[in-house]
A and B are shown apart, each in its own frame.
Chain A
């Protein structure tokens, strides 16, 4: 067998070494130190059930998720209130100190000391509350996100195959990644900050009014409206801007990635210079989008700074005048100066948080939609476990269409006896794969029934059915992980000798033994480092490990070299031994191995019989056979 397996690398190196999510080497040391403190949690204990529990059926909402942890939520509320209050105490204390300790002639250093101590206490209180809040909301967010990840993924496991079309793959990915991560941000700090900043503004306004109503009124009226208007403008404009930036970078990366993947085509067609120019357009558009947001920030930042100076000017001008006329005292005026400065950051933060908030809301809606999608193949609530089967398959007048208006199978009636190998042949689209998909109950017939050992598949539990089936898909799909993980996919944690037994049975033994890490050799990039023959053998080994009574095998169409082909054929012989097998054959040489051959055409069974019978019948099969013989013997 030409190419060897794996790319080497110690087992377990896949653990942190993700495809370029990789940690830059200059940070590796810090990460290592961090990981030393990680406890060994073992495997997650989450449980899968085919049918959702009543609890899971509740509509998804943020409050619902949070309310799973009422104690923590209550703690968060208390801490948030404490922060908003304690943090804003300082200026009032300074103000009191000035009025009662520093106003001539009533000097009293004792008051100052007392205020300083109180100030220090308020700082300690607010710092502790901030510490507590970060820990509480951090935990709350992580727990809720964990629940949500498991919840959504569990739902995905319930959905039927027809859901997972190609265009859905990307959607599913973004639900499970960016949408959930949006919520993480919102929960970890967003909501708490939203509350803190909102409360802070209220607290400050209250303090200002308590200090001096007139000055407070003037200040608030002069500063607040322009600040709010500017903030709303900035929020709207920057939302648009960041959308453009996001689109821009997506296009830049897409263009770059395609240029690299298609580098051979680019070179073959002399497109380099042209592409450099078009890439410059894409990068330029991205720069323009960035410059737009840059300009917005250039206006908003200094603009609010300007407003804060305006506030100070107003307080100095009007407050100073009031001071002259003894309508306000110095301590109160000081409080105004210190508070008005603190008025600006909450609004700026609120504007920032608002975006997070909206994204989070949108994500919740999208996730809710996903969770409301019903699987098309439903397990009956009263489904029974399929007992250990002998392997008799009966298609009982089955009709089926992916789109009910376009039937693919018409009234198919066929019985496959236990231990028999039946090959389906026919043109692409004739419906032979569809018949296999009905056996595994990836789909339900639109009419008629499929029975195994007399059990209607719609009346048995999915897991009891599928755990007794072995399926080898046309394109063997290998999972990231080791060879062991892939072989023992159906029975994780199976003892070594059984895995080795399977490996030897399918003829991979010698090869795996030669690998430096044996069974623990990682499979890279979905097995692209393996030859297609090796991938097929692993898929066969995986089916072997499952010890199925019924085997459904979609023959690979990819070309194998002679040696691999011989090995795959030998492995097939072992696998088919004593099992009921449904073989979707693409080569007549494979079909000929079966006990019976079924020719499928146009969704009907055209001919059924052994190879010899069908050849002598002189029908479709005989014709195919002739063509094939002629082609191979022409050479």
Chain B
């Protein structure tokens, strides 16, 4: 176990050190380009920013604050100086009312020299208050933002280590929310809570000053302070739920709008405008109620908090006045007490806030730790070696696989037709891909085709048997080197919101423009990219230009080709591409597959024709193996699967043969909202 953790530590290190690993170094990288397959080029991007110096303590038995302590302590210089200077500033500030009082008293007693001294003294103290205030505040903010920086990077790095089963189980929206608002509430508490406590010290000192002037008056003046605290606490308690309610109801309004905008065709088609407006109206009424509730609660508490301290002033006037008349208390006491009370008001109010902040922060920390305490399940084993320039010899030896029962997809399995929750996807699969061979894998939906690819790239570990590349069990190889030798084009091509160039160069950010263009050309993407106004610099994806499914697939193919891996997996990678365009890609693919081990998962006859050999997958194992003609002759299931696929194949693609490579300007695409599936894509078999 501890060894595994050691590996985890290493996984975050900037340079790989495992096995006979190569160091990410420009010279090596250029040298590699001359090799036939430029596989496994470690990428050495270096951020302008230093990585966090500390991380959350892994010891789950500690309290949440203790676990976060290393991060806070890594900024201890600034943290302590913020607190110390804040304290010093307050200690100076608290003298001012006393000095004013004495100055006024001197003035009343015609002591000009005394008055002047006090004026100078207060001016000097004022300068120090300002200076210390600046030092403390700017340090405090720095610490706060540094802690946020550390937490954000820590959690991102953690995400980057997690394995696919984790992503199947969680929802990315949930993760983002944890990585955002929860980090903020923790960071706020860690920095501002000590600050508030320090500020409360002013209340103590001010009270001591007041006591030294007059004990009874000091107590009278403080009479309303406990109430300010209590009301402050009550106010936060009442207001926090309302603010959350408002947020969640605003989200309801947003949902109605979002659905209305995205489903606008349906709304117009069914003349459902009235109904939609009523829905919006109802959601808006709910927001309205929550806002009025919020206003009423604020109306109840805010005037109390603001005016209670004034009540203290009334008592100072009343009791102080009496004492001035009867006990000869200096008149200026009224001024100094007034000023002290004003100083104390804010800390007392914030003290109430502190308690709520603490509760929130501890809950938030719990949610963050829950993620950080997850361990990646697919990691390099100790002593794993690097796969260098793979021959492309791939063996599936008696491989079995079942998705974990607690995967996210189990929600669909659950209510399934009484199927086994841990359905066996692959059972005792045996397959040998010889170096340089192109094999097409054919099978019905749910036969486990995609899983074969996933197990090979070690996105998942086989539950039985072993997958070997060049004779090494994939579990004995470093993940980086294994995946560096395998290019995968997934059936659902995901593009990032960066330029087309950067998307194609995703696996090799340092590729030259010529290389990118060559890859795009081979994938048949060059044409439409050049027709875009910004060409390769066009930003695509969710926050950019929307490409059609076929165009996305072509970019995904270019992305895999640029890496130039010895092993290539095309998982239904051309399903959305026009037959005609596909044919163009095929001719270049044929050249590229030369000498490369390629596994093609496909339905189309045209695609299958690229392969030297076809294997038929059914029920998680290979049931037939041979050339297309052989299988046609020998296996009825094969013809059946192909016929089904052909039937599914839309006539559209047949019809479209006469047309040019159609861009997204065609009217059919015009109003089709792109369906963006936010949920992590799961294995198709369980869909």
Q: Is A47 an interface residue (CB 8 A)?
A: yes
* In the complex, chain B residues whose CB is within 8 Å of the CB of A68: none
Q: Is B267 an interface residue (CB 8 A)?
A: yes
Contact check, A115 vs B651: say whether CB atoms are below 8 A apart: no
Contact check, B112 vs A280: say whether CB atoms are below 8 A apart: no
Q: Is A619 an interface residue (CB 8 A)?
A: no
In the complex the two chains form, what is the Cα distance from A205 to B89 in whole Å? 29
* In the complex, chain A residues whose CB is within 8 Å of the CB of B282: 41, 43-44
**Beyond A142-B288, A294-B141, A310-B126, is A276–B673 a contact (Cβ under 8 Å)?**
no
**Beyond A267-B164, A631-B605, is A309–B49 a contact (Cβ under 8 Å)?**
no
Q: Is B138 an interface residue (CB 8 A)?
A: yes
At the interface with chain A, which of B63-71, B202-210, B387-395, B638-646?
B638-646
In the complex the two chains form, what is the Cα distance from A164 to B648 in whole Å? 31
Contact check, B559 vs A269: say whether CB atoms are below 8 A apart: yes
A96 to chain B, nearest CB (A): 10
Q: Is B142 an interface residue (CB 8 A)?
A: yes
Interchain CB contact (< 8 A) of B134 among A173, A272, A302, A321:
A302
At the interface with chain B, which of A215-223, A256-264, A391-399?
A256-264
Interchain CB contact (< 8 A) of A291 among B108, B145, B248, B261:
B145
Contact check, B646 vs A254: say whether CB atoms are below 8 A apart: no
Q: Is B681 an interface residue (CB 8 A)?
A: yes
Contact check, A586 vs B651: say whether CB atoms are below 8 A apart: yes
Q: Digit string of B113-157 for contact with A (CB within 8 Å is 1, else 0)? A: 001101100110111011111100110111011101100110011
B319 to chain A, nearest CB (A): 9
Contact check, B100 vs A337: say whether CB atoms are below 8 A apart: yes
Contact check, B175 vs A260: say whether CB atoms are below 8 A apart: yes
At the interface with chain B, which of A350-358, A364-372, A470-478?
A470-478
Contact check, A402 vs B670: say whether CB atoms are below 8 A apart: yes
In the complex the two chains form, what is the Cα distance from A470 to B266 in whole Å? 10
* In the complex, chain A residues whose CB is within 8 Å of the CB of B104: 316, 320, 323, 330, 333
* In the complex, chain B residues whose CB is within 8 Å of the CB of A475: 672-673, 675
In the complex the two chains form, what is the Cα distance from A590 to B545 in whole Å? 33
A294 to chain B, nearest CB (A): 3
Looking across the interface, which residue of chain A has its beta carbon closest to that of B181? A24
In the complex the two chains form, what is the Cα distance from A27 to B247 in whole Å? 13
Contact check, A138 vs B298: say whether CB atoms are below 8 A apart: yes
In the complex the two chains form, what is the Cα distance from A474 to B549 in whole Å? 15
**Beyond A21-B251, A267-B483, A427-B658, is A281–B49 a contact (Cβ under 8 Å)?**
yes
Q: Digit string of A290-327 for contact with B (CB within 8 Å is 1, else 0)? A: 11011101110111011001101100110011011000
* In the complex, chain B residues whose CB is within 8 Å of the CB of A236: none
Q: Is B457 an interface residue (CB 8 A)?
A: yes
Contact check, B281 vs A425: say whether CB atoms are below 8 A apart: no
Q: Is B271 an interface residue (CB 8 A)?
A: yes
* In the complex, chain A residues whose CB is within 8 Å of the CB of B3: none
**Beyond A119-B313, A177-B253, A479-B259, is A4–B416 a contact (Cβ under 8 Å)?**
yes
Interface residues of A in 94-122 (CB under 8 A from B): 94, 97-98, 101-103, 107, 109, 112-113, 115-116, 119-120
Q: Is A53 an interface residue (CB 8 A)?
A: no
* In the complex, chain A residues whose CB is within 8 Å of the CB of B240: 27, 30
Looking across the interface, which residue of chain A has its beta carbon closest to that of B298? A134
* In the complex, chain A residues whose CB is within 8 Å of the CB of B662: 427-429
* In the complex, chain A residues whose CB is within 8 Å of the CB of B275: 489, 492
Q: Is A617 an interface residue (CB 8 A)?
A: no
In the complex the two chains form, what is the Cα distance from A560 to B647 in whole Å? 10
* In the complex, chain A residues whose CB is within 8 Å of the CB of B374: none
Task: Classify chain B: how many residues form its interface, as a range.
Answer: 35 or more
In the complex the two chains form, what is the Cα distance from A462 to B271 in whole Å? 8
B50 to chain A, nearest CB (A): 8
Interchain CB contact (< 8 A) of B160 among A126, A133, A259:
A259
B477 to chain A, nearest CB (A): 13
Contact check, A262 vs B141: say whether CB atoms are below 8 A apart: no
Looking across the interface, which residue of chain B has its beta carbon closest to that of A320? B107
Q: Is A341 an interface residue (CB 8 A)?
A: yes
For A18, A158, A172, A260, the residue with the greatest tally of chain B CB atoms inside 10 Å of its CB is A260
Contact check, A270 vs B416: say whether CB atoms are below 8 A apart: no
Contact check, B268 vs A440: say whether CB atoms are below 8 A apart: yes
Interface residues of A in 587-618 (CB under 8 A from B): 587-589, 591
Contact check, B110 vs A429: say whether CB atoms are below 8 A apart: no
Q: Is B227 an interface residue (CB 8 A)?
A: no
A284 to chain B, nearest CB (A): 4
Contact check, A135 vs B659: say whether CB atoms are below 8 A apart: no
Contact check, A18 vs B298: say whether CB atoms are below 8 A apart: no
In the complex the two chains form, what is the Cα distance from A560 to B444 in whole Å? 12
**Beyond A112-B322, A177-B254, is A291–B160 a contact (Cβ under 8 Å)?**
no
**Beyond A258-B497, A261-B678, is A145–B172 a contact (Cβ under 8 Å)?**
no
Q: Is A247 an interface residue (CB 8 A)?
A: no
Interface residues of B in 230-268 (CB under 8 A from A): 237-238, 240-242, 244-245, 247-248, 250-255, 257-268
Looking across the interface, which residue of chain A has its beta carbon closest to that of B493? A265
Interchain CB contact (< 8 A) of A280 among B153, B266, B412:
B153
Interchain CB contact (< 8 A) of A154 among B49, B277, B342, B646:
B277
Interchain CB contact (< 8 A) of A309 among B126, B137, B650:
B126
Chain A interface mostly = helix
* In the complex, chain B residues whose CB is within 8 Å of the CB of A65: none
Contact check, B284 vs A44: say whether CB atoms are below 8 A apart: yes
Contact check, B277 vs A150: say whether CB atoms are below 8 A apart: yes
In the complex the two chains form, what is the Cα distance from A267 to B514 in whole Å? 25
A627 to chain B, nearest CB (A): 5
* In the complex, chain B residues whose CB is within 8 Å of the CB of A137: 295
Contact check, A317 vs B43: say whether CB atoms are below 8 A apart: no
In the complex the two chains form, what is the Cα distance from A500 to B182 in whole Å? 45
Q: Is A561 an interface residue (CB 8 A)?
A: yes
Q: Is A373 an interface residue (CB 8 A)?
A: no
Interchain CB contact (< 8 A) of A94 among B177, B270, B313, B339:
B313
Contact check, A281 vs B496: say whether CB atoms are below 8 A apart: no
* In the complex, chain B residues whose CB is within 8 Å of the CB of A182: none
**Beyond A19-B173, A492-B275, A586-B650, is A275–B263 a contact (Cβ under 8 Å)?**
no
Contact check, B285 vs A146: say whether CB atoms are below 8 A apart: yes
* In the complex, chain A residues whose CB is within 8 Å of the CB of B61: none
Contact check, A97 vs B317: say whether CB atoms are below 8 A apart: yes
Looking across the interface, which residue of chain A has its beta carbon closest to that of B115? A320
Q: Is A34 an interface residue (CB 8 A)?
A: yes
Interchain CB contact (< 8 A) of A466 among B271, B310, B411, B687:
B271
Contact check, A31 vs B244: say whether CB atoms are below 8 A apart: yes
Q: Is B289 an interface residue (CB 8 A)?
A: yes
For A101, A138, A153, A177, the residue with the greatest tally of chain B CB atoms inside 10 Å of its CB is A153
Interchain CB contact (< 8 A) of A130 among B12, B175, B302:
B302
B186 to chain A, nearest CB (A): 13
Q: Is A210 an interface residue (CB 8 A)?
A: no
Looking across the interface, which residue of chain B has its beta carbon closest to that of A304? B130
Contact check, B295 vs A112: say whether CB atoms are below 8 A apart: no
* In the complex, chain A residues whose CB is within 8 Å of the CB of B292: 138-139, 142
In the complex the two chains form, what is the Cα distance from A474 to B675 in whole Å? 12
In the complex the two chains form, what is the Cα distance from A94 to B313 in whole Å? 9
At the interface with chain A, which of B330-338, B397-405, B591-599, B619-627?
B330-338
**Beyond A146-B285, A172-B257, A266-B160, is A26–B360 a contact (Cβ under 8 Å)?**
yes
* In the complex, chain A residues whose CB is within 8 Å of the CB of B293: 34, 37
* In the complex, chain B residues whose CB is within 8 Å of the CB of A333: 104
A36 to chain B, nearest CB (A): 12
Q: Is A90 an interface residue (CB 8 A)?
A: yes
Given contacts A50-B273, A429-B667, 16 further A-B contacts (CB under 8 A): A2-B446, A4-B414, A18-B252, A156-B261, A181-B250, A257-B176, A270-B480, A274-B509, A291-B141, A305-B129, A310-B123, A429-B659, A431-B667, A463-B273, A475-B673, A635-B632
**Can you list 30 contacts pairing A with B, beta carbon distance less than 8 Å?**
A4-B414, A31-B241, A31-B245, A44-B279, A94-B313, A116-B315, A116-B321, A130-B307, A131-B300, A138-B294, A145-B291, A153-B280, A176-B254, A177-B250, A258-B542, A260-B176, A260-B680, A267-B459, A276-B153, A302-B129, A306-B129, A320-B107, A320-B119, A334-B332, A334-B335, A428-B652, A477-B263, A588-B654, A631-B649, A634-B646
